[in-house]
Structure 1
Amino acid sequence: MNISEDKKVILSAPTFRDDQKKGKKFTMKNKINFRIFERRLGDDYVLLVREHVVVASKLKIPEEFRPNIINVSKYPDIQELMIASDMLVTDYSSVMFDYMNTNKPVYFYCYDLDEYDDMRGFYFDLEKEAPGPIVKNTSNLCRTIAKEEKYWDVYGGKYKAFQNRFVPLDGPNRAEKVYKKFFKN
């Protein structure tokens, strides 16, 4: 994978859907419109698409989009992809919690928010607490990413609150802090 240093890297990591199955295997239909992504962001961004590990579908990226859209679903270590990326696009995936340790922007592409809520539900109010914008189509996703310089002004407080609530013990020197909290008391 050869990515130009002048382009920002977006990691797209959606979760599977319970209602998308063939037999016992989950499938996944990519919902990011590659043509819109290429037209709106292709000059400045590269999109790494990482399907959920349980998804058996074979993501097909047309040749015309491959310089800027790369299927990394078979890459063995998502943590390395998180470190290499400049931002995350996800939906309801638990990868959002792991990504909080990078202190990089998270965008929520929730094209099926109501259906997903009815199907699986949420442990918290995603619309109220999401540490980034929630968008429902590719055009709005691209428009929001293109305004990334405003991300921290708009979402910085929610981002920090999310980190404090869900990953307060993660980060530098955390093993020492956990040791002192649990074994020194």
Structure 2
Amino acid sequence: IRKGSDLVQVWHAVGAFKTFGYSRLGKPGGPSANSLSHRNYTKAIVSSHNVARHYAEGFGLREDQVIATGIPRTDMFFDQPFIEEAKARIYEEYPIFKQKKVIMFAPTFRGNGAKSAYYDFDQLDLDALYEALHEEYVFVLKLHPFIRRRMEIPEVYADFFLDLTDHREINELLFVSDILITDYSSTCFEFSLLNRPMLFFAYDLEDYISKRDFYYDFEEFVPGPIVKTSEELIERIKNKDFEMHNVKAFAEYFFEHQDGKSSARFVDQILLGEKK
């Protein structure tokens, strides 16, 4: 990096959830102690000062180098004309989304990285999910881009299970989603801005903690019920049992600014160097 230049890490996730970077020293897939990864950042941005210490640890920065500007790509959640235009495009392409409620299934991958990434689709009972939910819902899959092998959807269920993994912008799909099912994905942070229900399908929680771990106690942290089987998923959805009381507080903790002006703060505080 040239003298006087900054290299700012804007990252691809919001909040702080599963550990990353140097927080993973000694864990499978984590960096070695002398790794050069992340070593040349001069600043990083975060959604809230509450998570600054975790990003400082993960990137090997001082905490004062981590700045809570908010995350620019979340500005769209406060731009109503943009939301309406995005929804109109999606409804035109998928008219069934206007006829039925949308369940968004967006899990993260298993494995140590892009080369070994996978998801255990056998954990989903497609027959049971279809029989219980197809009259009222559609079930949209948005898989992590590392996952190469897709779920095989039987033709008879093609009007219920829709694989939209290749849709470029997950946040646009969140706008039309009534329920989010995820696990250890940071998608839950963005979805909390919509104040809609979430379920956490964490069938392998103990194993995931031992291999990856989190910055917070997962069971106390997530803003929705943890379920481990398709039967529990169905029961929660049918009974509309989502524990919504946690969602707003979750969003307030992880989003210091909820005003759609994070891009402006990034320009002012990072590019122009103005003080907060």
CA apart distance, 1:77: 1.2
Rg (Cα) greater in structure: 2
1:162 paired with 2:254, answer no
Residue 89 of structure 1, aligned match among 181, 184, 192: 181
CA apart distance, 1:2: 3.7
CA apart distance, 1:175: 3.6
TM-score scaled by length of structure 2 = 0.59
1:172 paired with 2:172, answer no
User: Does the Cα contact within 8 Å between 1:100 and 1:167 map onto a contact in 2?
Assistant: no
Residue 126 of structure 1, aligned match among 218, 221, 224: 218
The letter for the 2-side match of 1:161 is A
CA apart distance, 1:138: 0.4
Taking the aligned partners of 1:87 and 1:67, their CA distance within structure 2 comes to 18
Taking the aligned partners of 1:128 and 1:4, their CA distance within structure 2 comes to 33
The letter for the 2-side match of 1:109 is F
Taking the aligned partners of 2:196 and 2:171, their CA distance within structure 1 comes to 13
CA apart distance, 1:176: 8.9
User: Does the Cα contact within 8 Å between 2:102 and 2:137 map onto a contact in 1?
Assistant: yes
CA apart distance, 1:184: 6.7
User: Does the Cα contact within 8 Å between 2:111 and 2:118 map onto a contact in 1?
Assistant: no
CA apart distance, 1:119: 1.1
Taking the aligned partners of 1:176 and 1:46, their CA distance within structure 2 comes to 34
TM-score scaled by length of structure 1 = 0.85
User: Does the Cα contact within 8 Å between 1:50 and 1:73 map onto a contact in 2?
Assistant: yes
CA apart distance, 1:5: 2.8
The letter for the 1-side match of 2:98 is E
Unaligned runs of at least 5 residues, structure 2: 1-93
Taking the aligned partners of 1:27 and 1:139, their CA distance within structure 2 comes to 23
Task: Report the counterpart of residue 27 of structure 1 in structure 2.
Answer: 118
Taking the aligned partners of 2:116 and 2:148, their CA distance within structure 1 comes to 6
- The DSSP-based 3-state class of the residue aligned with 2:96 is coil
Aligned positions of 1:102-141 closer than 5 A: 102-141=194-233
User: Does the Cα contact within 8 Å between 2:195 and 2:248 map onto a contact in 1?
Assistant: no
Taking the aligned partners of 2:95 and 2:113, their CA distance within structure 1 comes to 33
Superposed CA offset, 1:41-74 (max 9, x none)? 1111100011101111122111111101101111
Task: Report the counterpart of residue 10 of structure 1 in structure 2.
Answer: 103
Residue 170 of structure 2, aligned match among 57, 71, 78: 78
Identity %: 31
Taking the aligned partners of 1:121 and 1:176, their CA distance within structure 2 comes to 31
Which contiguous aligned blocks of 4+ residues in structure 1 show a shift greater than 6 angstroms?
none
Unaligned runs of at least 5 residues, structure 1: none
- The number of equivalent residue pairs is 177
CA apart distance, 1:173: 3.9
User: Does the Cα contact within 8 Å between 2:103 and 2:177 map onto a contact in 1?
Assistant: yes
User: Does the Cα contact within 8 Å between 2:113 and 2:146 map onto a contact in 1?
Assistant: no
RMSD: 2.4
The letter for the 2-side match of 1:115 is D
- The DSSP-based 3-state class of the residue aligned with 2:102 is strand
